[in-house]
Amino acid sequence: MGLRRSLADSASSFLGPLSTGLLKALESAGKPASMGPNQRTLADALDARVRTMRLEPNQAAAIFWAGGAVAAISVLPLGHWPRQSFLALVIIAGFCTTASAIRVVARRRLARWVLHVDVGLATVLTSVLAAIGVTDNVDFSNIYIWIALFAALYFRPFAVLAHLGGVGAAYAVALAFGPGVPNPVAAWLSIVGTISLAAAVMVGVVSLLRSTAQKDPLTGLANRRLWDERLDEELKRSQRTDQALSIAMIDLDGLKAVNDRNGHDAGDRLLEELARVWAIAIRGSGDFLARLGGDEFGLLAPNSDSVGIRRLTERLGEVLPSGVVVSIGVATWDGTENASDLSRRADRAMYEMKLRHRRGDMRLQA
């Protein structure tokens, strides 16, 4: 039992930092934003956690391989291994150490598809370890669990399923050709069932974090991060298809006055109401509405020209609560500009509208 505990402790170092990052991300979900309720949102803080955890796969892979080396080396002095098994453990430990060093040196220069190679190689090496190390005290098949968690953290569900199938097949081969176990079917079902459950939980958590990091928690609309992604996607689609694309930048006039006069809760309720009525006004049309921060919203209208976007913004104006004034600037893609230039044109038009409102002394009323 002592040797099994040693192996489990070694394996726990595989993705320890990743688990820590995941827990911190979950803790962040219950913490308030560090700035005012109309400024920085909870999603901003959570988004930073998610990006730190998910956008450093090479660093995670380095830890993954280092953990494999530790798992192989830690059992060498604790058992009476046959010469061939001892040599295999040394070779595997050396391979894992080399792979970890390569990841540390390469950092982000390696392509993301190399992660699939990592998982495939890890599956093969773990199966070799399982075949040579299945005794009363050592069961290397536990490492499959970490392989499943790593795959679920960085891959799409279909790819995760494919890797789980590979693990199941590899472990079946290890049980068939390695040292006999009392009940190989039960052993296979136990490992495959455990890794499947672990992967399902991880995929669910990652999906939840990704969704939370892309959504404004106050209004339920998309946040700026998702807005930027969608704008880039739609612009590329328009470049391919030569279809019209328009955007609108919308600024709520006088929100600060409402916050100062009636409190931030009143301002938040106003933002929530605007998001609700505007979402209904554009529902089913394929248009995309986001809260970009504070009192600013963005509207993305694929397949809409200058006439279409103005009609759409008129619909938004028709459902405004009584006394509410917004400044709206629109821009239609000219066929050559990039996302930043298109957004800048809409911003300029919005600020010009805001200046006209100020000159006309149009104020927001609560």
Model confidence over 179-214: pLDDT tens digits? 667 788 888 999 999 999 999 998 888 887 777 778
* 3-state secondary structure labels for all residues of the chain: CHHHHHHHHHHCCCCHHHHHHHHHHHHHCCCCCCCCCCCCCHHHHHHHHHHHHHCCHHHHHHHHHHHHHHHHHHCHHHCCCCHHHHHHHHHHHHHHHHHHHHHHHHHHHCCCCHHHHHHHHHHHHHHHHHHHHCCCCCCHHHHHHHHHHHHHHHCCHHHHHHHHHHHHHHHHHHHHHCCCCCCHHHHHHHHHHHHHHHHHHHHHHHHHHHHHHCECCCCCCECHHHHHHHHHHHHHHHHHHCCCEEEEEEEECCHHHHHHHHCHHHHHHHHHHHHHHHHHHHCCCCCEEEEEECCEEEEEEECCCHHHHHHHHHHHHHCCCCCCCEEEEEEECCCCCCHHHHHHHHHHHHHHHHHHHHHCCCCCCC
pLDDT in tens, 12-34: 443 344 444 444 444 444 343 43
Q: What's residue 163's pLDDT?
A: 94
Q: What's residue 33's pLDDT?
A: 40
- pLDDT grade, residue 114 (50/70/90)? confident
- pLDDT grade, residue 10 (50/70/90)? very low
Please tell me the least confidently modeled range out of 160-169, 172-181, 197-206, 315-324: 172-181
Most confident of 39-53, 103-117, 121-135, 334-348: 334-348
pLDDT in tens, 216-252: 888 888 888 889 989 999 999 999 888 999 999 999 8
Q: What's residue 138's pLDDT?
A: 63
For the domain spanning 224-359, the CATH number is 3.30.70.270
pLDDT in tens, 54-76: 557 878 888 888 888 888 888 77
Task: Give the domain ranges of the chain.
Answer: 2-213, 224-359
